[in-house]
Amino acid sequence: MMSKRIFISGASSGIGEFLAYAYAKLGATLGLSARRIDRLEVIAKACREFGGETHIYQSDAKDRVATKNAADNFISNVGGIDIVIANAGIGNHDDIIQGDATVINDILETNIIGVTNTLVPFIPTMKKQKHGILVPVSSVASFLAVPYHGGYSASKIAIRVMADSWRLTLHKYNIQITTICPGFIETPMTAEQKRRPFLMPVETAVEKIVSAIDRGKKTFVFPWQMKVLIPVLKIIPDGLLRMFG
**Nearest of 36, 28, 42 to residue 10 by alpha carbon:** 36
* 3-state secondary structure at position 104: helix
Per-residue binding string, ligand NAP, 106-145, x by CB under 6 A, is ----x---x----------------------x-x------
* 3-state secondary structure at position 10: coil
Q: Computed over its alpha carbons, how large is the radius of gyration of the chain?
A: 18
Q: Site for ligand NAP (CB under 6 A): which residue of 5, 7, 8, 12?
A: 12
Instruction: Single out the segment in contact with ligand NAP by CB under 6 A; choices: 24-32, 88-96, 170-178, 223-231.
Output: 88-96
Which of residues 78 and 146 has its CB atom nearest to ligand NAP in the complex? 146
89 touches ligand NAP (CB under 6 A): yes
AA letter at 93: H
15 touches ligand NAP (CB under 6 A): yes
182 touches ligand NAP (CB under 6 A): yes
14 touches ligand NAP (CB under 6 A): yes
31 touches ligand NAP (CB under 6 A): no
Beta carbon of residue 118, minimum distance to ligand NAP (angstroms, whole number): 9
| 152 flagged as catalytic | yes
Give pairs for 22-28: CB < 8 Å, separation 24+. Answer: 22/206, 22/207, 22/210, 23/52, 23/210, 24/48, 24/50, 24/51, 24/52, 24/54, 25/50, 25/51, 25/52, 26/52, 26/210, 27/3, 27/51, 27/52, 28/3, 28/4, 28/52
For residues 21 and 209, the answer to whether their CB atoms sit within 8 Å is no
From the list 21, 57, 152, 173, the catalytic residue is 152
> What residues line the site for ligand NAP (CB under 6 A)?
9-16, 34-36, 39, 60-62, 87-91, 110, 114, 137, 139, 182, 184-185, 187-190
Which residues are part of the catalytic machinery? 152
